[in-house]
Amino acid sequence: ILNVEQSPQSLHVQEGDSTNFTCSFPSSNFYALHWYRWETAKSPEALFVMTLNGDEKKKGRISATLNTKEGYSYLYIKGSQPEDSATYLCASQYNNNDMRFGAGTRLTVKP
Amino acid sequence: DAGITQSPRHKVTETGTPVTLRCHQTENHRYMYWYRQDPGHGLRLIHYSYGVKDTDKGEVSDGYSVSRSKTEDFLLTLESATSSQTSVYFCAISPRTGIEQGELFFGEGSRLTVL
């Protein structure tokens, strides 16, 4: 069973706070790990793809790390802003077409 | 803009009726996917296509069929809709291959309610 777990389910932070959430995935047959950002009433948008153990990716104030040996990835947001409010999805890819998504972490940033 | 449109965007139907959702892309990408999204679950793959008339099952394919007679259109059909198929359906395309094939571009979703 290729369950991808994300924690916490939801998170409320104040503007300016830094925050992070976790994605756990089965590490056997791992191919790639994806993070998506999903704003309310919009479609999910790709943030990062990571493949190698120890990979780190950064886009502005958002960064992600990957540990394929223990099967987890962290997403960090530095200095959260209200526009960062969204659901953040991770997905573990096991071959070209087998992607398993977590249920997401819903982030709310209060002004 | 990945040029993906889904139709209809909203549909209410009754149990036992057939329903077809359409996904149209303007970019002629090879790979197209249908996902469903339910509260408490991640996006779950229903079926995908890797070319005209080439399709395969995903994680939750029971009760669904698909067709792809043209590169630009990928149809999802519920032959006899059930209440458990009430969901939001997302079409996605992948413009890349290999490891980056998982970088998906999603349509805006089709909300289906089966009464």
**B interface test, pick of A96, A98, A100, A106 with most B CB neighbours within 10 Å:** A96
Residue B107 in contact with partner chain A when CB distance is under 8 A: yes
Q: Which helix (H) or strand (E) holds A60?
A: none
% of chain B residues with pLDDT over 90 = 83
**A interface test, pick of B104, B110, B111 with most A CB neighbours within 10 Å:** B104
Question: How confident is the model over A35-47, as pLDDT tens digits?
Answer: 999 998 899 999 9
SS (H, E, C) chain B: CCCEEEECCEEEECCCCCEEEEEEECCCCCEEEEEEECCCCCCEEEEEEEECCEEEECCCCCCCEEEEEECCEEEEEECCCCHHHCEEEEEEEECCCHHHHHCCEECCCEEEEEC
Q: How far apart are CA A52 and CA A38, in angstroms?
A: 24
Task: Give bridge partners of residue A91 from the DSSP assignment.
Answer: A34, A101
Number of A–B residue contacts, CB under 8 Å: 61
pLDDT of residue A1: 58
- Provide the 10 A C-beta neighbour count for residue B8: 12
> What's the mean pLDDT in B100-108?
86
Handedness of CA B69, B105, B111, B57 (dihedral sign): positive
Q: Which helix (H) or strand (E) holds A56?
A: strand A56-59
Characterise B83 by phi-psi region: left (phi > 0), alpha (psi -120 to 50), beta (else).
alpha
Contact residues for A60 (Cβ-Cβ < 8 A; gap 6+): none
> Residue B68 CA to chain centroid, in angstroms?
11
pLDDT of residue A35: 97
Residue B56 in contact with partner chain A when CB distance is under 8 A: yes
Please indicate whether, in this complex, the C-beta atoms of A99 and B90 are within 8 angstroms of each other: no
* Residue in B45, B90, B101 nearest the CB of A96: B101
Question: How confident is the model over B2-20, as pLDDT tens digits?
Answer: 689 999 999 999 999 999 9
Please indicate whether, in this complex, the C-beta atoms of A43 and B107 are within 8 angstroms of each other: yes
pLDDT of residue A51: 92
Please indicate whether, in this complex, the C-beta atoms of B100 and A49 are within 8 angstroms of each other: yes
Question: How confident is the model over A47-60, as pLDDT tens digits?
Answer: 999 999 999 999 99
Q: How far apart are CA B59 and CA A95, in angstroms?
A: 13
Question: Which positions in chain A touch B100 (Cβ < 8 Å)?
Answer: 32, 49
Contact residues for B31 (Cβ-Cβ < 8 A; gap 6+): A97, B48, B49, B50, B93, B94, B101
Chain A CA closest to residue B98 = A96
- Asked whether the predicted pLDDT for residue A65 surpasses 80, the reply is yes
pLDDT of residue B1: 57
- C-alpha distance from A68 to closest chain B C-alpha (Å): 15
Please indicate whether, in this complex, the C-beta atoms of B40 and A34 are within 8 angstroms of each other: no
- Asked whether the predicted pLDDT for residue A29 surpasses 90, the reply is no
Short-list B19, B16, B2, CA closest to B75: B19
